[in-house]
Structure 1
Amino acid sequence: MRIIVVGLGLRAVSVLERLQAHMDEAEVVAYVDPKPHQIERLKNHEAIKPYDTLEEMLAGEKADLLFVSSPNHMHLEHIRLGLEAGIRMFAEKPVVISMEETMELAELLSKHGADQVLIGLVLRYAQHARDLRAAQAAGQIGDVVSIEANEHIAPYHGAFFMRDWRRYSKYSGGFMLEKCCHDLDIYNMVTGSRPTRVASFGGRKSFVPSNAPAKDADTQVYHVKESIWEAAEDPFLSDGDIVDHQTAILEYESGATMAFHTNINVPDEHRRFCVIGTKGMAEGDFVRGYLKVTDAHTRGTLVDEDYTKSIDRPGAHYGADDMMCQDLCAYLRGEMDSLPVSVVDALEAGVAALALDQARTTGQVVDLTSYWEKFDSFDLRGTAATTKKMESIQ
């Protein structure tokens, strides 16, 4: 398994490191990145060949997989080149950064096949998500009626966003897309549908000059995560245009509704969800590591998982990075027929995030009905071999 990489930053190295741990035959042979980060963590890193452009690397290497982990605004062009070269790809989320790019990529995938692009929406691989899907499949929740969910991250992580290239929407696509596309994908999965109408409110109130620490204060907490490209020094004086808090409401094709909240200055972080159905309720927290399912009729506990005791895996995202790479290896070897998330799922989650920012900036409810009609005209579900068969990874 010969792998070439465009965008060899910390995220790419972290995933490739876990991939190599599960796949001895996985060999990173070349990369494009003017400033690779922590390449020494990869096997045989001294032999990995650098290229100046993706075109040169595609022409100069015989490879089995192209890993696309460049900054978000470069994804469309890099995926386009990969599709035209006929190489299988693994692309980090989010896939693209605008509604227009989404439709452009949908057209490309309709021509080349959606199964050519595997996607790094890692939250679907978490044990929490697997067990939540299993509870749904067992009928313990019934039809999903409403959801309350959030993603709250700690100040050290929030400061990273305000110092990193991700602070610019022109590069990241906005905070909701860059950080919360995982969550929006999970709730698309839970409802078995997509948002039809969305509204949103938010802005920037924490990482602003008036809240900057005193000059003699210890500010190390705001520099825990290193920024490599387009870095800024002070998160409170940042010139970025992303928000640091946002509240959203969504109505789905299934009729379910959700209230979602994100904030990047939460001292005791959590990533909670409460899924309320006609037969039961599932509540949990990816960060604090639990899942509880309660029967609506008897109020009896049907599932009570403490993942802080049961999950011991290396890597980030609550062990999901390692679980994703394990499944990717099995899929690439032909040992699995499908993966739990597809590039189509990722595009649909991205549209939800982009629509929420449109609603926030315009102050209007955004109706996605006509957009989905056009998106569905490309019949991407019919071209994708990677579908939502969660049963295959339970």
Structure 2
Amino acid sequence: MTNNNYFQQNFYSEYLKPEDKYVFLKAQPEFKFNVIGAGMIGMEHIRVTMLEGRAAINGVYDLDQSSAEWTKEAFEKEYDYELHLYNSLEEACFDPSVDGLIICTPNYTHLEVMKTAVQSGKHILLEKPMATTIPDVLAIQDLVKDYEGVFQIGLQYRHKPIYDEALHEVLHKKSLGEVKNISLMEHRVPFLDKVDQWNKFSKFSGGTLVEKCCHYFDLMNVVAGSKPVSVYASGSLAVNYQDFEYEGESSDVVDQAFVTVEYENGVKGNFNLCMFAPMFYEEMTVCGSKGRIKTYENDDFLPSSRANTHFEILTGENGTSKISTPMYPAIIQNSGHHGGTYYEHKYFVDNIKGDYKDTATLEEGLWSIVVGVAAEESIKNKAVINIEELLNQSKQAVE
């Protein structure tokens, strides 16, 4: 389907009669999805759905009418049919012509949206983070524990080319032997603007280490292959939003942090965050008993022609070492999050069709948030957070 879209976008074929089209024949999508939440990430999900091609976007629902109308206008300029705007969440979820729901609303709304969405029985792709608090995640877990449709968490970073390559070497080929320590880094520009600026406030986003960094904690958890037992973090709001105020409130999200995680199996992990750097840079280093991996992704706005991805695995006398530049075809890699969102969608559709692919599960979504919440708590309390105690407190809050 992607090749079909590529041919249509890059070659002129209008002179051909319908019966003369094979490569240029426009395939019909098998599924229809609705997008709940028409903001920046909602638009990315729309673009990727249409690019992947086996599903099409039927309609959107958003509480903010201007966002919904802007999305409709942009969609209809790009694609060849009308996008339906729903008047309510219920209408969008229960439309009998639709097969799946992609939930992209602000973090703090996910639980309430899910209460309605699960009643539809439709396949669901829920954007990260699942929720902003552990009690809310546990509530979502309860909602979908016997769910028959596909339920997938939007932790698409694991599908970026640099991490896909690393996970293959670590988990499948076992090239590093036993993993011993993991180091992750994100240096980037500040949070971008959102409707009502909800991402500038911890009460709406869960805090930076939940909202943004759950991606990295998910990667750390997967590579560690174990559950976290303790988290210690240091961080602050050092540079960004010093003069920012919205409806009388000042921002309280951290823009720098160091996070240390210890796991049941003895693996050590650390994460380094800076959100006032003039770039988008992320890196993962994994050291094992038989070697080391370093991989990174870099967009620094400079006019240089160097590759923006890098992967290296050094195994010494234990096996083959290599240095490479992981990438996807440009049409995929440029579609969002270096192609991670595309493969998130591809595997979502594969799973709907019964062709099982490994994607972020409910439990993995939970643990990515547990580490993020623990890190936020550690910064507030200047203390090491015991994960078992944190979970017990959260379960008591639910009860």
Q: Relative CO higher for 1 or 2, CA cutoff 8 Å, sep ≥ 6? A: 1
Letter of the 1:125 counterpart:
H
Alpha-carbon displacement from aligned partner over 1:3-57 (angstroms, at most 9, x marks no partner): 2222111211211211112225424234243232433343668633323321243
Letter of the 2:369 counterpart:
G
| Aligned with residue 201 of structure 1, among 234, 253, 257 | 234
Say if 2:45 is the partner of 1:15: yes
Structure 2 counterpart of 1:135: 169
**Greater C-alpha radius of gyration:** 2
Q: Do the aligned residues in 2 keep the contact of 1:3 with 1:26 (CA within 8 Å)? A: yes
Q: Do the aligned residues in 2 keep the contact of 1:5 with 1:68 (CA within 8 Å)? A: yes
Shift of 1:346: 1.4
SS at match of 2:335: coil
SS at match of 1:3: strand
SS at match of 1:251: strand
Q: 1:19 to 1:46 in 2, by over 3 A?
A: closer
Q: 1:53 to 1:47 in 2, by over 3 A?
A: same
Shift of 1:350: 1.1
Q: Across the two proteins, how many residue pairs are aligned to each other?
A: 348
| Aligned with residue 295 of structure 2, among 284, 296, 302 | 284
Shift of 1:255: 1.0
Q: Do the aligned residues in 1 keep the contact of 2:347 with 2:357 (CA within 8 Å)? A: no
Alpha-carbon displacement from aligned partner over 1:183-228 (angstroms, at most 9, x marks no partner): 1111111111221100111111112548x9xxxxxxxxxxxxxxxx
Q: Aligned-pair RMSD on alpha carbons?
A: 2.9
Structure 1 counterpart of 2:7: none
Structure 1 counterpart of 2:264: 253
Shift of 1:358: 0.9
Shift of 1:61: 4.5
Shift of 1:90: 1.0
Name which of structure 1's ranges 77-86 and 323-332 shifts more when overlaid on structure 2.
323-332
Structure 2 counterpart of 1:307: 326
Structure 2 counterpart of 1:122: 156
* Alpha-carbon distance in 2 for matches of 1:56, 1:339: 31
Letter of the 1:319 counterpart:
G
* Alpha-carbon distance in 2 for matches of 1:163, 1:148: 34
* Alpha-carbon distance in 2 for matches of 1:20, 1:269: 26
* Alpha-carbon distance in 2 for matches of 1:316, 1:259: 26
Superposition TM-score, scaled by structure 2 size: 0.79
Q: Do the aligned residues in 2 keep the contact of 1:126 with 1:320 (CA within 8 Å)? A: yes
Structure 1: gaps spanning 5 or more residues: 213-230, 377-394
Q: Do the aligned residues in 2 keep the contact of 1:162 with 1:240 (CA within 8 Å)? A: no
| Aligned with residue 145 of structure 2, among 94, 110, 120 | 110
Shift of 1:345: 1.2
* Alpha-carbon distance in 2 for matches of 1:169, 1:109: 26
Say if 2:250 is the partner of 1:239: yes
Q: 1:365 to 1:129 in 2, by over 3 A?
A: same
Shift of 1:58: 3.1
* Alpha-carbon distance in 1 for matches of 2:386, 2:47: 41
Q: How does 1:1-394 map to 2 (within 5 A)?
A: 1-33=31-63, 34=65, 35-36=67-68, 37-42=70-75, 47-112=82-147, 116-136=150-170, 137-154=172-189, 157-158=190-191, 160=193, 164-207=197-240, 209=242, 239-287=250-298, 288-297=308-317, 302-307=321-326, 312=330, 313-334=333-354, 336-370=355-389
Letter of the 1:318 counterpart:
H
Alpha-carbon displacement from aligned partner over 1:307-359 (angstroms, at most 9, x marks no partner): 36x6523212122222323333333333x212332232112101110111011
Letter of the 2:199 counterpart:
R
Q: 1:360 to 1:303 in 2, by over 3 A?
A: same
Superposition TM-score, scaled by structure 1 size: 0.80
Letter of the 1:175 counterpart:
T
Q: 1:331 to 1:368 in 2, by over 3 A?
A: same
* Alpha-carbon distance in 1 for matches of 2:48, 2:316: 40
Q: 1:206 to 1:370 in 2, by over 3 A?
A: closer
* Alpha-carbon distance in 2 for matches of 1:29, 1:104: 27
